Amino acid sequence: MGDNALGWSGIVSIVLACGLSLLTWLQSRAPRRALRQALDNGYPALFGDYTPKAQIVLCLRGSDPFLDRCLSGLVHQDYPDYKVLIVVDTETDEALPHVRELQALHGADRVEVMIRDHAFSTCTRKASSLHCAYSRTPDDVEVIATCDGDAITHPTWLRELVAPMKDPRVLASTGNRWYSPQGSDPVGLLRFYWNGMAVPSMVQYHIPWGGSLALRREVFRDPEYLDLLAHAFSEDTQLANFLDRRNTSAVPVIPLVMLNEERTSFASFWGFLLRQMLAARLHHPAANWVLLQAMLLGALGWVCLPWTIYEGGANIATWGICTFLYGTVVQVMVLQFDGLVRKLLREWRGVTLRRYDLGQILSCSFALLFLGFYYPAAVLTAWLTRRHEWRGITYRIEPHSVAIVDEQEFRSTPEVRPETPAKSAS
């Protein structure tokens, strides 16, 4: 083959890059449009006056870096009738002193604290804690909102989250996370770009986020959902499974972004990605589409690059041009969305994020290129793995659930096995 001839590796690179670019553009249209409309129409005016009696549930195991700020945000909600229920893993958990201090400051009428009183062997400890919380929820509570220990809520968070439920057909609503990298930290940039690509995918595939999630009573009182929760690696993707069986999905409140500026490491980010993909693999109806999209991206890097090097000539230049064009599309889409998020945070929450510095600008392209290899590898690993360790607990991965194998640490609370096995996701 002549040096200037375009081989199959070059042709495949063109097809993959064009397809991925088109998919990225299509997925990002709805979230960007929703943010623009919120900014144009005066987002706070869209909350409405729907404020049913609510309970915020926070499950804790260990102390997150921003826990005190999280707790403070939960007890200062601009909402007329709500209570905070905090479920702590054990009596010796390091988060308990923070929680007791909050309860002493604001009173038991606002903050209720419980130690998880049972744990299933077929789900994560967080899922067990949620199961305990739902069983303790008073009958007059119409909506439960869940939050993560690293999420910092603003005063109108709960009001924004439950607003879609004014429509009685809406069973659940969800916000999303938004990472803001600190300096030119390479892991922070990786996480930023992953998040920028993940948010549109979560909207398209109806993937809720448990860190900012509201459930109507018809859901958290439903025996089928409670059974699914008792077999859940992730409560949010299991919720998507439950709602899909009813031909519905959680309504995304796209302007409700929860800012996260936490620093992380390569090892922590890798474990985080594995958990996100494991959750999709085990429970979500669109899991195969998530896998396919990641594998197409992986094929462009892991397959086409060595293939074009082998064929040589124009194929190498073609791969480079295709990768550059696809990366440019991703850069534009992510930075446009980030710009809208920054404007919303500045205008409606009074939060001004630091501008990108020169180091970040110079590192962006390298971070995005590396993510093209890193993310597909994490997805493939999640689809093949049979064990995963998370916060000291080792889980055996089964077809549609998990089993805890770290018996000694797990038996710090009484073990309960569900009476009825959960049905496999169809």
Give the pLDDT confidence of 346-359 residue by residue, as tens digits.
998 999 998 887 77
Q: Return the closest-CA partner of residue 290 out of 237, 252, 332, 368.
A: 237
Highest mean pLDDT among 3-12, 43-52, 185-194: 185-194
Task: Judge if 164 and 305 occupy the same domain.
Answer: no
User: What average pLDDT does the segment 399-412 reach?
Assistant: 68
CA distances from 163 to 158, 159, 250, 365 (A): 9, 6, 13, 39
Section 231-252 average pLDDT: 96
CA distance 290 to 280: 8
Domain containing residue 94:
46-287+386-416
CATH number where 81 lies: 3.90.550.10
- 239, 326: one domain: no
Domain count, the chain: 2
| Sign, Cα dihedral of 30, 33, 38, 39 | positive
In a domain, 221, yes or no: yes
135 and 188, same domain (yes or no):
yes
Whether the model pTM is above 0.75: yes
Q: Please tell me whether residues 67 and 187 are part of one structural domain.
A: yes
- Mean pLDDT of all residues in 254-261: 92
Query: What band does 163 get if pLDDT is binned at 50, 70 and 90?
Result: very high
CA 408/CA 405 separation, integer angstroms: 9
Note the pLDDT of residue 3.
60
Q: Kindly state whether residue 36 falls inside one of the protein's structural domains.
A: no
As a whole number of angstroms, the distance between CA 124 and CA 73 comes to 26
| Distance, CA of 123 to CA of 157 (rounded, Å) | 28
Where would I find the H helices in 44-147? Answer: 67-74, 96-106, 125-136
Domain-located, residue 94:
yes
- Do residues 168 and 302 both lie within one domain? no
Report percent pLDDT > 70 for the chain: 93
Q: Which residue has the tokens 């996480």?
A: 191
**Predicted pLDDT of residue 46:** 64
Amino acid at 295: M
Same domain, 296 and 283: no
Which alpha helices (H) appear in 79-185, and where do they start and end?
Answer: 96-106, 125-136, 157-162
Same domain, 76 and 15: no
Place of tokens 């693999």: 281
Q: What pLDDT is recorded for position 44?
A: 65
